[in-house]
Amino acid sequence: MRYRKKPVEVKAIQFWDDPGIIKSISDFLGKDIVVDYKNPTKPVLDIETLEGVMTAKVGDYIIRGVNGEFYPCKPDIFEKTYEKVSE
C-alpha cells in the first residue's frame, strides 16, 4: 500500500549561534535554554521531545508539532518536507 503525508502546518525556527536567535528559540520553546559549547566551533542544543532528549546542531530547525511537541529536524529534510506559508 502507498500512503501520502497529510498536509499539516507547523511552526519552526532555525537554530543559529546568534544571541538574538537563541533568545527567539527560548521564547519559541517557552522556557530558558542552554546552548552547549563543549566544542566551541560546534555548539548544540538539547531538545526535550516525546521520544526523549534529541540534539539540535547549528542549522537544524526546531519544529513545534501539531500536539505542541518539539523536535529538531535537519535542514535538508525540513526543506524537502515543508514550504513556507504566510503568517
C-alpha to C-alpha distance for 78 and 5, rounded to whole angstroms: 14
Instruction: Determine how many CB atoms are found less than 10 A away from the CB of residue 31.
Output: 8
Query: Three cell numbers at 69?
Result: 511537541
C-alpha to C-alpha distance for 83 and 27, rounded to whole angstroms: 23
End-to-end CA distance of the chain: give it in Å, rounded.
Answer: 35
Q: Return the sign of the alpha-carbon dihedral for residues 33, 84, 81, 50.
A: positive
Q: Please state the pTM of the whole predicted model.
A: 0.89
Instruction: Note down pLDDT in tens along the chain; length 87 residues.
Output: 998 878 888 999 999 999 999 999 999 999 999 999 999 999 999 999 999 999 999 999 999 998 999 999 999 999 999 989 876
